[in-house]
Amino acid sequence: MIGNTEKIYPLWGNLGLLVLRLFVAYIVIQAGYGKLSIKGLEGFSVYLTSLGVPFPLISAYLAVLTEFFAPMFYVIGFGTRLASIPLVVTFAVATFVAKGADVMALNYSEFGMPLGILISCLVILIYGAGSFSVGGSADQEE
C-alpha cells in the first residue's frame, strides 16, 4: 500500500542486524590490531607479496586501515553500507586469495572465518544498519 507506515524490519530483524554489526566489528578490529602488533605492516606486506597481491605495502596499509576503522562505523551504525564496501573487498581477498587453496580443497576450518565475515558484511551492505543505530531511520516506508 502507498503511504503504509508498517515497519519494514520487525524488532527481531533490527536486533539481529545490531548483533551482526557488533560481532563483525569485534572480530575485524581484533584482526586489524593483530596485523599491526604481531608482525607489523612490513611482515604483513611480505605475506601479501608471497600471495602475489599487487602493491603489497599499499595493500597492507589499506587492509589494516579498513579492518581498524570501518568496524567503528558498524558499532555506531552510521555509514554502514559505505563502510561495508572496503570490508567486502578485504575479506573477498582474504577468502579467495589468501585462503584460495583451502577453498578449493573445501577445508572449511581454514577459510570459514573470513568467508563468514564476508557474508556478514554483504548482509549489512544489503540491509543496512537497522533501527538500532545512529542512522537507523530506514525502518519505515516512505
* pLDDT tens per residue, range 80-117: 999 999 999 999 998 888 887 777 778 777 888 889 99
Q: Coil, helix or strand for 111?
A: helix
The mean per-residue pLDDT over the stretch 50-75 comes to 92
* Residues ≥6 apart with Cβ < 8 Å to 29: 67, 68, 71, 72
pLDDT in the model for residue 9: 62
**Nearest residue to 130 via CA among 6, 9, 4:** 9
The mean pLDDT of the chain is 84
| pLDDT band per the 50, 70, 90 thresholds, residue 4 | very low
Which has more confidence, 86 or 137?
86
Residue owning grid cell 565475515 = 117
Give the CA count within 13 Å in the CB-facing half-sphere of 59: 19
What is the torsional sign of CA 56, 99, 41, 76? Answer: positive
pLDDT class for 136, splitting at 50, 70, 90? Answer: low
Q: Is the pLDDT of residue 1 over 80?
A: no
Element (H, E) at 105: none
